[in-house]
Chains A and B, each alone.
Chain A
């Protein structure tokens, strides 16, 4: 048969239905009339003839039904009919539809949002060419307290020349520099990179070019590559800028290119390379000749095609062993390199938290879908009479089953659509509240994979929960259902199914409650941590002093001293000081070895965290001195340098003895070997400067007058609102030097908050999901109990009529509901005992089986369930005896 004819017929069935049916009506009527004519000519009266004709035709409606069923596309047509029917049915039950759709929107929306984050952070490749071939090389100094340390210049050279598995290596170190010249001076976060860095990374410029080897050659003209943000803001996105010179730190540098607006440098968060660098410059030619111990380079490599990460790791580890033997600087410990895939490394800390959240929203969706299934079952039970009637009128069971499925799917798709909207809103707020360490959340999009995931989720769940009411459909027995006219009298089986579903919901929400509770308690513990310094009432800012104008050390030091004095003179300021690294800032760590005077092997020194401070710093930070004295303006004689150490270093070097006046050999120049003898004049508490949750390595504080670091961060303690100090500070600095930019003006608690931000973020999300899950589970309990009460209306009415105390009736219903809650809660606590271990890495100072949290979780669930039970229980007592009897 010609395919065109078929398509034309299909089109007629679907779109010309009304005409087809009119023709059919007329044709059949004509046939009946023709037969009647014939019977009349045979001598029947008109009435008899008409009846005989109708009889001969068989049921006209039946014939029509058969003709319609034989049409091409009749299945589609009747499915569309079912969709319309389902739509009308939902429209007629707005409370049911709204409850189901909102429930689904919450479940599906949370999943869509978290999935898009999971997709962007864990599944999607980094936005660079062949990003799966990028590796990151760490120097593993676990013994010294730095499991993930950078590399030195000579080591980069070794990697490049003495390994075979990578086609290239690039290195970066972040710093700051000042843009001077036209306009206000501005401090930039700049990345110093090797010439190959961008080729290795696989990033292309939007304008101009990236660096070439000649840019790093000796005597090359200084060059600079700009980020789009600076190009747009400071230079009005003028393409003619490329090729021109701008003043960087008062020296001309040629702008060679601009990176695209969307470019981000996505290195691991603890590599101290911010992802929003504003400009890049090449390292000088002497990079590879520095001391081996001066580790500051973050190194990426591009694997050759066909090489695995394991092979690169082996190759680079073997190199580390070779250079450990060859160079005495490494001492007995030697050097260990660890190589990891760049993408995996970047998400290493957040992966488990994200997967836990993803599992959490999965459970949330399950609870939501159970609610909808339960609602659909109740609805199917209420429609038993309708179903029975339709069966009696000849509807086939498969047809009814299909109709229920279609109703479920229509509901699921509506819920999915609402879920997409909810999810989009949720994702936008996730992006708005993202912690710095999760800045990649910004890359989350509602793109095709997310849409596909959401629609697939909605359809799958739609199919599953629309199967639930089929239990009802398949159990309809015609005669009893029709006889019982109008009184819903469902059997116990279906109630038990729904009760089972509720127990499951309660169990799952107990798991979520306990998990969220653990995260909340862990976070509260972190908030109570005493880092060793006082966080509130402090404003910080950074200033980079141009060495051209302030020749170190004399001019530099006197400027810093004057600034400190000017700051203290501001009304409301109680103390001020400066430090090289603020707690939890994003500057690269600085540290070096320390040994006692008598140590024979200075190459195998333990590592300490180094910081440079001014005399006022400890008072400004509120740090307690345990022994000895703080630093003074007189501690500036390079001939007899002094330091302050923390209690951990003191205990390790001189256990049980006073460290005051003792000497220690340190490495302030970061040459790799301790060589400078300093005298300990004071001991302070160990400060948690790099991690709130752990005491890391020992600490040594140098006077700024002895070891100069630039830029410095100033710390100003005040009894005013710290934020209100900013204008006064700017004015004070402008009086000293109007051309000096200050930047990163922010309260100290911002840094501390950012150290907690990731945990806070996960904790808040988990808590929000747990609360939503609890609400949904309560709706489930409420629904089932209301149903049970409605079913027993008659009984309650009778009992009340016979004088039963309302409290007894309430008690009965409450007992029924709370029994469900008890079983669900017990099951949930059981599951949580096993599953909470997965949260271990996210917890601090409490175990994954923290009894208090488990008890609290059970109590919250119990209280919520009691409220959900009480409402239907009270309704049971409002049954009027007369009404109950009358429905008999």
Chain B
């Protein structure tokens, strides 16, 4: 669903900064493989979010000693995340009501 990926990315980055592959690993891990985010969608999403000022990318080293671009969530991103969360809850509620209605 549109906007879902942005929400997932922001949520993944909330506790700590990650690089692109890290974000995709984390999403697969939490959802037990339900969501597999392809790089073809992930990188454009990361760049879009950075452009909008919700996350900020910085060059850093991985535990394996490689240079990678780490994204951390910004204050604007935190605010955006809570808005999106509320929206999502409303959507889930609404869809639930539709499905349960006889």
- Chain A interface (Cβ within 8 Å of chain B)? 1-2, 5-6, 9, 23-24, 26-28, 30-31, 33-35, 37, 56-59, 62-63, 66-67, 69-72
Contact = CB atoms under 8 A, between A and B. Distances in A.
A59 to B, nearest CB: 8
Contacts of A59: 40
Given A30-B67, A30-B68, A56 B39 contact: yes
Contact of A31 (B38, B51, B57, B68): B68
Nearest to B22: A34
Interface of B: 19-21, 38-41, 43-44, 47-48, 51-53, 57, 62, 64, 66-69, 76
A31 B39 contact: yes
Given A57-B39, A66-B43, A33 B20 contact: no
B76 A33 contact: no
Contacts of B44: 63, 66-67, 69-70
Contacts of A56: 39
A30 B39 contact: no
A63 B51 contact: no
Contacts of B57: 27
B66 A37 contact: yes
A31 B57 CA distance: 14
B40 A2 contact: no
Contact of A30 (B40, B47, B53, B69): B69
10 contacts: A1-B76, A26-B67, A27-B68, A31-B39, A34-B19, A34-B21, A58-B38, A66-B41, A67-B47, A69-B44
Contact of B66 (A1, A33, A71): A33
B66 A5 contact: no
Contacts of B47: 24, 67, 70-71
Nearest to A4: B53
A2 B54 CA distance: 10
Contacts of A57: 39
B66 A63 contact: no
Nearest to B42: A63
Nearest to B51: A9
Given A2-B76, A37-B66, A63 B53 contact: no
A5 B57 CA distance: 15
Given A1-B52, A70-B47, A30 B64 contact: no
Contacts, number: 72
A155 B46 CA distance: 88
Nearest to B68: A30
A interface: dominant SS: helix
Nearest to B65: A37
A37 B64 CA distance: 9
A71 B46 CA distance: 11
Given A2-B53, A66-B44, A23 B69 contact: yes
B66 A27 contact: no
A5 to B, nearest CB: 4
A35 B62 CA distance: 12
Nearest to B80: A1
A30 B66 contact: yes
Given A58-B38, A72-B51, A63 B19 contact: no
A358 B62 CA distance: 73
Per CB-CB distance, the 8 closest pairs between chain A and chain B, nearest first, are: A5-B53, A9-B51, A27-B69, A70-B44, A66-B44, A58-B40, A30-B68, A57-B39
A138 B48 CA distance: 76
B102 to A, nearest CB: 42
Nearest to B20: A31
A70 B20 CA distance: 17
A9 B53 CA distance: 9
Contact of A63 (B21, B39, B48, B64): B39
Given A5-B52, A59-B40, 20 more contacts: A1-B53, A1-B76, A6-B51, A6-B52, A9-B51, A27-B57, A27-B68, A28-B39, A30-B66, A30-B68, A34-B21, A34-B64, A58-B38, A58-B39, A62-B40, A63-B43, A66-B41, A66-B43, A67-B47, A70-B44
Given A27-B69, A30-B66, A34-B62, A67 B21 contact: no
B81 to A, nearest CB: 14
B55 to A, nearest CB: 12
Contacts of B38: 58
A88 to B, nearest CB: 29
A23 B66 CA distance: 15
B84 to A, nearest CB: 13
A5 B74 CA distance: 13
Nearest to B45: A70
Contacts of A9: 51-52
A9 B57 CA distance: 14
A31 B21 contact: yes
A66 B68 contact: no
A35 B40 contact: no
A2 B52 CA distance: 8
A57 to B, nearest CB: 5
A70 B43 CA distance: 10
A734 B34 CA distance: 116
A34 B40 contact: no
A614 to B, nearest CB: 94
A63 B76 contact: no
A37 B68 CA distance: 13
